[in-house]
Structure 1
């Protein structure tokens, strides 16, 4: 399934980050239904907790990981409805339709990681995403609510 095109809204692009990663490792030892996957590309590395009952990946696979400010294709905000449950949005077609794994959460912390590198920490109801990479790639992120969208490539 192809990804719907992201549209611009009054606040700019709905897509804050879109990266392709190779999965390096998976650790499923700590929790019953959660695995921590790690991956990287030349500019960014990540650690992501996923519910492996809902979505499975294997080392060596390639995924697209997207952070978006809205699921609405026109780029308009859906934050108030999303807080109540993003699956109940009135839209018939959303950005989520092109992805296999979707979560809603909050960017809660940033740290400097070197001269031109930063770390971003995001929580999706306790499932965590850690990103570290080029400040140039991660400067579109700020303390806000975001959607995580993942699919295998």
Structure 2
């Protein structure tokens, strides 16, 4: 269920901007703890995840399939947009970005890693209080570092 790096031939970001691009099945949703936030639980054969998502902005259901991309930049030329990302918004007149191909985009920081077994790791990312937990193949998650990332999601 893995996808190839879209930066190679489809006009996506160049270099190592795409850190992870995977297709996941949504297994369960927990919307009981907060009014506007749900915890989405999903998996594919290599990775499982838990993601806090603003369900009033982007409703999801168990059984759906999503594509999740983690990227260090959303600029197609692969250059950093760290200063712009800190502003929290962007002009609509700007050039197209990777975000234009996704429905839900958030910006956060990878803040913790743990070993989860022989060839498995856990990664934790915070998006201003909304959390993403990934557990899976070290080979797949080794591209993540303690840095800022974009999480981009769309339904498949």
The question of a shared fold, defined as TM-score above 0.5 by the shorter chain, is answered with: yes
Matched, 1:35 2:41: no
Give the aligned CA root-mean-square deviation in angstroms. 1.5
* Distance change (3 Å), C-alpha of 1:86 and 1:118: farther
Structure 2 gap segments, 5+ residues each: 1-5
User: Match for residue 116 of structure 1?
Assistant: 119
- Please report how far the alpha carbon of residue 80 of structure 1 lies from its aligned counterpart in structure 2 after TM superposition: 1.1
3-state SS of paired residue (1:13) = coil
The count of corresponding residues between Structure 1 and Structure 2 is: 148
Structure 1 gap segments, 5+ residues each: none
* Distance change (3 Å), C-alpha of 1:128 and 1:17: same
- CA distance in 2 between partners of 1:133 and 1:92 (Å): 35
- CA distance in 1 between partners of 2:48 and 2:33 (Å): 21
3-state SS of paired residue (2:88) = helix
Deviations 1:1-42 (A, max 9, x none): xx863232xxx3211000000000000000000000000000
After TM superposition, which residue ranges in structure 1, 4 or more long, deviate above 6 angstroms? none
- Please report how far the alpha carbon of residue 81 of structure 1 lies from its aligned counterpart in structure 2 after TM superposition: 1.2
**Normalised TM-score (structure 2):** 0.91
Deviations 1:98-121 (A, max 9, x none): 000000000000000000000000
